[in-house]
Amino acid sequence: MEVPPAEAASTVAARPVPRPGRPAPGRGAPRTPAREWWRWGPPGRRLAAGHGPVDALLALTLCAFFTALQHGAVRAHPLPVLLAQVGLIVPLAWRRRAPMTVFGVMAAAAFAQWLGDVRSPADGGLLIALYTVAAYVGERARLLAAFGVLEAGIALATLRWSIHDRGLATFVSLSAMATAAGVIGTNMRARRERMEFLEDRAVRLELERDQRAQLAVAGERARIAREMHDIVTHNLSVMVALADGAAFAMERSPDRAATAMRQTSATGRQAITDMRRFLGVLRDDEPDALRHPMPGIAQLDALAEQVRAAGLPTRLVVAGEPAAVPAAAQLTAFRLVQEALTNTLKHAPAGARAEVRLSCGPDVLEVSVMDDGAGTEPQAPPGPPPPLAGHGLAGMRERAAAYGGRLTAGPRPGGGWRVTAVLALATPEAP
């Protein structure tokens, strides 16, 4: 069954799109180092995937560092200092899992430290917590709230513990450190979002490339199906008509029967030649096939003669300059005439006559095929349709539409059937 390009395109386009951040299927695409890098994510994201052990190691290291730094204070006041360090450092082990919660716990520990008048450089852990909020929390209001809480804590610490003549300098320097932590975290978040955007874009571009390739394959399959349908259906219809005529004339006119059988054989050989030529064009290892021209307006005489031999008197009229018509448009016109005559040969009653008219203009090519019989597919006898019924006209409409034209088909007022196609020659597309 022939698949129209539009249906093939909609089928491919309707396939589910992978979720952002996941690699596209990309069947047949080589796995390069860059593709693997994008597939598993930037190094920072790979590290963040196992953030629990990393953050726990950071908290343990800071605890050991501040304990060694405050060795004397720990010996003098072990419990208050150790409790302050635990409240200000240990929550960092969960800083990327719950940034706001960790910051709140550490801020409460810092306030308790201030109330208890316990000095500890572990307050610097709040800068890490603020950086984490800026880097991993997307809401600006929460970031500003955390920054405000930290600034309030800096102000309280400055009022209680700083030297009187250096209080302003201490407040400014600590505020600058807090601002730097927030800015660095915000920049890291922006950089991570940019990397995620580029990764998502790379995945979608790869998906679009695969879809374009699938659409091209579907379109090529539809084109091949149309060509094979036209070649096989026409020649088989002619052969069936000749064989029926030979069987009918076998007893009364053996000579006419023999002539019909020879014409049947010639039609079969012509079908084989056309099929080999068409398949040869599709194969890369047969460049000689490209030198055989595809059928066009010049081959309509032979087509009409073949149909006459099958028992359908056919008149061919060509107006204008056929040589000025592009080769692709000539192929489209030939296939349209071939399909229309095939339908007439199959469905018109005995004694019907066909007429083919071509009008070659500078901008359009008009093709008209008519007969004076009882019509074609719409007037077929009742019962199940033949296997190819309906696909001929559908393929003809697709051919005309692919060349920027239109096709109409219907019964004539005085009896018979008429097929008319108008092809645009100004901006042709491949049929």
**Between 254 and 225, the higher pLDDT residue:** 254
What's the rounded Cα separation, in Å, for the pair 133 and 98?
A: 9
Question: Which tokens in the block code for residue 175?
Answer: 């505020």
Alpha helices in 90-166 (DSSP H): 99-115, 125-136, 140-161
- In a domain, residue 192? The reply is no
Report the share of the chain in percent with pLDDT over 90.
7
- Last residue of one domain, picked from the residues 161, 181, 212: 161
- 381, 350, 367: which is closest to 418 by C-alpha? 367
Residue type, 85: Q
- Last residue of one domain, picked from the residues 101, 133, 161: 161
Contact (Cβ atoms closer than 8 angstroms) between residue 324 and residue 286: no
Residue type, 68: A
Residue type, 174: L
State pLDDT tens for residues 288-347: 544 455 788 998 998 898 888 888 899 999 998 888 888 888 888 898 998 889 888 888
From residue 64, alpha-carbon distances to 67, 113, 312, 317, 353 in Å are: 5, 19, 102, 100, 104
Q: What is the pLDDT of residue 300?
A: 92
- Average pLDDT on 97-101 reads 86
Residue 211 per-residue DSSP state: H
> What's the structural domain count of the chain?
2
State pLDDT tens for residues 204-222: 888 888 888 778 777 767 7
**Between 119 and 375, the higher pLDDT residue:** 119
- Last residue of one domain, picked from the residues 161, 188, 220: 161
**Between 91 and 263, the higher pLDDT residue:** 91
Q: What is the pLDDT of residue 370?
A: 92
- Domain limits for position 366: 311-379+389-431
- Identify the three-state secondary structure at position 421: strand
- What CATH number should be reported for the domain holding residue 393? 3.30.565.10
- In a domain, residue 89? The reply is yes
- In a domain, residue 213? The reply is no
Give the helix/strand (H/E) hosting 117.
none
State pLDDT tens for residues 251-297: 777 777 777 777 777 777 777 766 666 665 555 554 454 445 578 89
- How many residues can be counted in the chain? 431
- In a domain, residue 68? The reply is yes
Crossing angle (nearest 10°) for helices 327-347 and 167-249 = 50
Mean pLDDT of the chain: 73
- In a domain, residue 150? The reply is yes
Q: How confident is the model at residue 136 (pLDDT cuts 50, 70, 90)?
A: confident
- In a domain, residue 230? The reply is no
Least trusted range by pLDDT, from 10-19, 85-94, 128-137, 139-148: 10-19
**Between 85 and 375, the higher pLDDT residue:** 85
What's the rounded Cα separation, in Å, for the pair 422 and 431?
A: 14
Q: What is the pLDDT of residue 50?
A: 58
- In a domain, residue 214? The reply is no
- In a domain, residue 209? The reply is no
Contact (Cβ atoms closer than 8 angstroms) between residue 396 and residue 340: yes
The residues that bridge with 411 in the sheet, in sequence order, are 417
Q: Is the pLDDT of residue 223 over 60?
A: yes
Query: Per the confidence metrics, is the pTM higher than 0.85?
Result: no
Crossing angle (nearest 10°) for helices 391-402 and 167-249 = 130
Give the helix/strand (H/E) hosting 418.
strand 417-424
Residue 103 per-residue DSSP state: H
What's the rounded Cα separation, in Å, for the pair 357 and 5?
A: 29
